[in-house]
Amino acid sequence: MRDNRRTRTILGLLLLTSLTLVVLSLKGGGDGARTEASGFFGPVQNAASAIVRPVRDFLGSIGSLGSKDQQISDLQAQVDSLQGQLNTTDYERNRAKELNDLLRLSGAGQYKTVPAQVIAFGPAQGFAWTVTIDVGTRDGIKIDSNVVNGQGLVGRVVSVGPTTATVALLIDATSTVGARIASTLQVGFLNGTGDATSVDLQLLEPFAPVAVGDRLVSSGVTGGGGVYFRGIPLGTVTEVQGTPGQLTRIAKVKPFVDFTTLDLVGVIVEPPRTDPVDAVLPPKPSATPSGATGATGSAGSATPKPSAS
């Protein structure tokens, strides 16, 4: 108890002396008093500082946490901003490529197109695979207008309003497009399957040759699924099921268009003056290295794959 009382007495004297020196300093005097006091209280002050310094440093670090948190927050905001700019740049770069591809296809096929943005996906008008685009009758869009992108045929317009239109996609199970093998000119019908990566080709001539790697364009023949202009790229044969002569012989075709990433498209409002034949087809991929095998045998083989039955 005596130690506590003594401690409080010493602290009280220190506080009183400090206040006195402060008052004297504010009044502009007391230099002599401060000098004499420093000789007496100097050792006591040093000892007190040694005890108080760790506490003061700790409290000071707590006070600086706010500023450090703000700095971290500011840096994170800058990182997010830069990442957003990078993402925007990538998107704009992709859009520029899509537009360039669309202009290339339109120029090669001599199509007059109206660019449009895909704004919605989903079933509509009795179709399972459709998209909504942001152009309509005010832009010259009509029912059955063909829709393409830089890779090939997307589908056809099945309903249209003043500012929007609904497009049934090539892959919809109700879709049928007159098709032609570019290398042999054999014609048939390309039927949607509801699969975004595969459609079915059935040739009119059961004995007509068809092989993996054959590329297809629209033939202009009406197949009950709307009217399509000639020469629009459709896809590449990836598999042949059945043998020549079978009425059920089907060729599996991978569309040129990636229907899961549709964004910028073009609506054909004026058909080509002449048949572009295969002028609109994308460049062929490089040849398969010797020794590699394809889906139905050796590279370049035209041997049909027998059916599972």
For residue 225, give both structure tokens.
Answer: 């699924």
Nearest to residue 14, comparing CAs of 43, 56, 55? 43
Centroid of chain to Cα 28: 73
Give phi and psi for 9, each to the nearest 5: -65, -45
Q: What angle do CA 166, 167, 173 make, to 5 degrees?
A: 125
Nearest to residue 234, comparing CAs of 275, 177, 279? 177
Look at residue 296 in the predicted model and tell me its pLDDT: 40
Give phi and psi for 238, each to the nearest 5: -115, -15
Look at residue 157 in the predicted model and tell me its pLDDT: 95
Residue length, the chain?
309
Q: For the chain, which residues make up each domain, given as ranges?
A: 2-67, 110-283
Look at residue 53 in the predicted model and tell me its pLDDT: 59
Look at residue 218 in the predicted model and tell me its pLDDT: 93
Q: Are strands 176-181 and 165-169 parallel, antiparallel or unpaired?
A: unpaired
Q: What is each CA distance from 148 to 82, 143, 214, in whole angstroms? A: 34, 15, 20
Look at residue 305 in the predicted model and tell me its pLDDT: 41
Nearest to residue 116, comparing CAs of 230, 280, 268, 243? 268
Q: Tell me the pLDDT of the chain (309 aa) as tens digits.
A: 455 666 666 666 555 555 555 544 555 555 555 555 555 555 555 555 555 555 555 555 555 555 666 666 766 777 777 776 666 677 778 888 888 888 888 888 888 899 999 999 988 877 899 999 999 999 999 999 999 999 999 999 999 999 999 999 999 999 999 999 999 999 999 999 999 999 999 998 888 999 999 999 998 866 555 689 989 999 999 999 887 777 778 999 999 999 999 999 999 998 877 777 777 887 776 654 444 433 343 333 344 444 443
Look at residue 225 in the predicted model and tell me its pLDDT: 59
The pTM for the full model equals 0.64
Nearest to residue 102, comparing CAs of 159, 133, 147? 147
Distance in angstroms (rounded) separating the CA atoms of residues 253 and 238: 6
Cα radius of gyration rounded to whole Å, the chain = 40
CATH class of 110-283: mainly beta
For residue 167, give both structure tokens.
Answer: 């497009």
H helix or E strand, kind and range, residue 113: strand 112-121
Torsional sign, CA 234, 237, 242, 245: positive
